[in-house]
A and B are shown apart, each in its own frame.
Chain A
Amino acid sequence: MPTADPILVVENIVKRFETPDGVLTAVEDVSFAVAPGEFLAVIGPSGCGKSTLFNVIGGLLDGYDGRVMVGGETVRGPHPSVGMIFQEESTFPWRTVIDNVAFPLEIAGMAKAERLEKARHFVEMVGLDGFERRYPAELSGGMRQRVSMARTLASEPKIMLMDEPFAALDEQTRLLLGDKVLQIQQDLKQTTLLITHNLTEAVQLSDRILVMTYRPGKTKRIVEIKLPRPRTSEIVGSDDFGRYVAQIWSDLREEASKGLKDDESRVARAGGKRR
């Protein structure tokens, strides 16, 4: 557990969904705390309830048991201290890069000149200076995700939630964007919660990794990553990095196998029904 007073506390979260096959427990009794400036990754196989947890913490999903507290305050709906970066491409195609990044400042009622100046700072931070007047359609997938990141950072959240933000990108771009995230985290001391199913990404970026079980999603283990900081993507070649990846994979392997078997039996059942 972190030593400083936690900025984010997740207590005994249970979330169930009604499905045609009965009640499905997506997340069961998940608890953890995140210290200010800490980078925590939540990793688990597909279908373990990671994104459900992301939506619960972000206040986009209600009807759950347990409690989410941000800075000592219980979260009921989206919280101004929590910024979210989504897995899907989420830039506004009708706004230029600078106007996308300035969006939360515009909503906050900041004057145009001031918000554009501030937005420019965050555009530079994610390495997109020179692309301010471009539209998302003119950018690559990685650049668009950086626009989303800059937009969330512009709202100056105390906690940044990221739901597999680089899942759609190739491995090399993902590693390089990981460098960008590490740099930003170091510069801003940004508290970050990353939801991912990518082992390398989780180890490269995190201070701790919470490994989840396959359905219902429970905490299997929390692993502390004692790799030196500041880090870059070069760390992926180190022996320690490899050991952490192997250790987490040994935890995940069993859960991922359960997920795979479950998928296969579901497909077989669906095939049987059709026949």
Chain B
Amino acid sequence: MTTRASIGRQFVPVAFGIVCLLVFFVLVEALVRIGTINPFIVPLPSEIVLSFKRIVVEEQILPRFLLTCGEALMASLMLSVAGIALGVLLHRKRIVRLATETWIAAMASAPIVLMYPLFLVIFGRSAWTIIMIAFVAALPPVILKTLEGLSSTRPVLINVGRSFNLTPSQLYWKILFPSSLPTIFVGVRLGMIFALINIVGVEFLINFGGLGQLVNELSERYDLPGTYAAICFVIMVSVMFFIATERIERWLRPGA
């Protein structure tokens, strides 16, 4: 009975989400069919679904999907390592924090993607240009959230550590770091969103490959159902990365 209730509790929100999505599609389908929404701007959702098979077969979606996934994975790994390390540095060195925190916050809203010609000159027309733009653009939220997480550790937990005579390094690894992991992961997720937007954007701009290039090609051919179907694959990459970070967070910091 209890197990059934627990399965029900897990299943109901998922089912509700799917039902909401289906209702949304049906609504859009109806609005396009009766002419409220212009079909030259938004295609019929049923046409988008039917175009999936076409773009999988004709547009080599798998290698493009894997390329975008690979770039996003590399950028995420780099920004997690560098962002968390820089956040720790800012937490430990007050002068560095005072000198740079405002600049880093300002950088978060800077349109780094517009600097793509500079990155092209440095890294050439390669995946590294895309990865590096995504990495630089997505770094600020990871740094700032790491700093916020470390700074907001409850003083009583630090006092517990001090009362047990922990060394500064033990205090960091055993208390400060696990305590701030939920906030750090908020930063990593935000960073991943920034990274993916930049990756697809730069693929689109420099016509290098991946899902961004496919979206560009299909939109230039005015294949609207195909364009929307390709965007669905971009969303799929995002969902996959979100699920992965949730799993990693639960593994690293159980008990939430």
Contact = CB atoms under 8 A, between A and B. Distances in A.
Interface of A: 58-60, 78, 80, 82-84, 86, 88-90, 92-96, 103-104, 107, 135-137, 155
Q: What 5 A-B pairs come out closest when comparing CB atoms?
A: A135-B255, A84-B163, A88-B156, A94-B253, A90-B156
A89 B154 CA distance: 10
Nearest to B163: A84
A193 B171 CA distance: 26
A103 B165 CA distance: 12
Nearest to B157: A90
B255 A95 contact: yes
Nearest to A157: B163
B164 A96 contact: no
A173 B48 CA distance: 62
B9 to A, nearest CB: 16
Interface of B: 154, 156-157, 159-160, 162-166, 170, 174-175, 178-179, 181, 253-256
Contacts of B162: 59-60, 78
B170 A107 contact: yes
Contact of B163 (A58, A88, A92, A96): A58
B163 A78 contact: yes
A155 B255 contact: no
Contacts of A92: 157, 160, 175, 178-179
B154 A88 contact: yes
A93 B164 contact: no
23 contacts: A59-B163, A60-B159, A78-B165, A80-B165, A84-B160, A84-B163, A86-B156, A86-B159, A90-B160, A92-B175, A92-B178, A93-B255, A94-B178, A94-B179, A94-B253, A95-B255, A103-B164, A103-B174, A104-B164, A107-B164, A107-B165, A107-B174, A135-B255
B152 to A, nearest CB: 14
Nearest to B165: A78
Contact of A155 (B154, B159, B164): B164
Given A92-B175, A107-B166, A137-B256, 14 more contacts: A58-B163, A59-B163, A60-B162, A60-B163, A78-B165, A84-B163, A88-B154, A88-B156, A90-B157, A92-B160, A92-B178, A94-B179, A94-B253, A137-B255
Given A60-B162, A60-B163, A155-B164, A93 B256 contact: yes
A84 B156 CA distance: 11
A87 to B, nearest CB: 8
A104 B164 CA distance: 7
Nearest to B255: A135
A94 B181 contact: yes
A121 to B, nearest CB: 19
